[in-house]
Amino acid sequence: MNKLGLIISLSLLFTLASCEDEVAKCEDTFQDDYNSLKQSFVSIYSPTSSTEDFNTLTDSISIFVEKYPSKCSVNDEVYDVTKDLNNFVSQSTVVNLITPKVIYGKDDRLEIADSPDPRHAEWANAVAVQVSGTKISENGELISATIQESMGLCPTEEFADQINPGRCSGFLVGENTLVTAGHCVENQSDCSNYKWVFGFKSDSNSVQQSQIYSCKSIISQQLSGSTNADFAVIELDRNVENAEPLTFRTSGEVKKGDSITVMGHPSGLPMKVASGATIRSTSDDWYFVGNLDTFGGNSGSPVFNTDTGIVEGILVRGETDYSWSTDADGNSCRVVYQCSDDSCRGEDVTRITKVTGLPKQVTAADILAEFFDGSELSLENKGIAFNVQVKQGADKYLAGTKFLDLCAMHTAENESPNAWSNSTVVNCDNQEALLQVVETYKK
């Protein structure tokens, strides 16, 4: 390159550099728009903000970036924020994991005591609410305003006068093993700072110390925006009193159209149960979708197959909770967001079969296999005139014997061996009838 060409090239480089460094004068609206962006961020920096809130902010950022130059000055102060704003948007992962929930069709939420299904009272013993340790006083009082006061609910809304100290829900799968959503226990800090309270129902604003349990350790946990994994299995500080672990699916698949029931603490309220829902979609490997009446606070709730009573999954995310209603005088309060049964996005339920770290579940088939030919169970005279094979439980026993090709089984409370809870004598090939007796013993 000759000398003249070199001079021209250097000149062009300096010109380009000066253009890149050029600072324009900001428009008069810049400062107001800049401050508005900051305030929008402050507003969504909250665990209750939704995907829609975040998208509104990113839309505002896009408008701002298009409206103003990369660098501009106001009162001799230079603003160079475009790169930072673009990085914020590109590096932000929208996680729908704590998005609250919604009512589909009619509101099916009931107090446990008001449920016509007798199984619900038994299941409820194994369901807990996650509460910050700072919200439980030394005497067991739950420190909380009513949901009307804390969330601005309209006074006409269901349960508006009840307190809502809860954060998430969880359920027992072992004597001291609890399952919840992964976003409810993300780390050791969550494990240490939150308590698990069993038996929080609408008839009391305080709990006994015997109802309060601590998280001792995290057994397994996953929370992923890419795979949609969302679960946590934790060890409690001791065995839970007066509660039988819930039975959960260990293999196979749920089916679209299956009836499902959810139990937990919607919006942190005392325990509620909601039936009348069905599975709408099973297309995702990690979760299925149902039209459950659930809310923030139901995260971690057990979702049961209504017919079989086994846990199919963990409620983890869904549609928006509430919308705003304004009266003729301009006063606003929040009402439950309503969807028809087949509209809105649906509620996502982590498949229990995807959860790791669960205790080995002894099935009715496992127990039945201990009886009859080759059994090592003890022979006792237990509520019958002759010796039978006996499997002893804490409160109940299961007994059985074989006669020719007939198998006989019965179960009863230890204190009342002559008052059988269930019994059958059938051909030994009739496994279904025998398993029904075993299930009675397991409960």
Q: How many CB atoms lie within 10 A of CB 64?
A: 17
Where along the chain do its domains lie? 3-94, 98-354, 364-442
Top CATH class of 98-354 equals: mainly beta
According to the model, what pLDDT value does residue 142 have?
A: 94
Please state the rounded mean pLDDT for residues 98-126: 78
What pLDDT does 311 receive?
A: 96
**DSSP category for residue 210:** G
Q: Give residue-wise pLDDT tens across range 287-340.
A: 999 988 777 789 999 999 998 899 999 999 876 666 677 766 677 888 777 776
- Give the whole-number percent of the chain exceeding pLDDT 70: 87
pLDDT bucket at 6, cuts 50 / 70 / 90: very low
Q: Which residues sit opposite 378 in a β-bridge?
A: 390
Residue 263 one-letter amino acid = M
Coil vs helix vs strand at 403:
strand
pLDDT at residue 2 greater than cutoff 60: no
Cα separation, 311 vs 271, in Å, equals: 17
Distances (CA, A) of 55 to 30, 36, 177, 207: 21, 15, 38, 41
Contact (Cβ atoms closer than 8 angstroms) between residue 331 and residue 296:
no
What's the pLDDT tens digit per position in 371-400?
999 999 999 888 888 889 999 987 899 999
Q: What is the predicted pLDDT for the residue at 48?
A: 56
Out of 43-47, 178-182, 391-395, least confident range? 43-47
Q: Are 268 and 147 in contact (CB under 8 A)?
A: yes
Q: Is the pLDDT of residue 20 over 80?
A: no
* pTM as predicted: 0.64
3-state class of 314 per DSSP?
strand
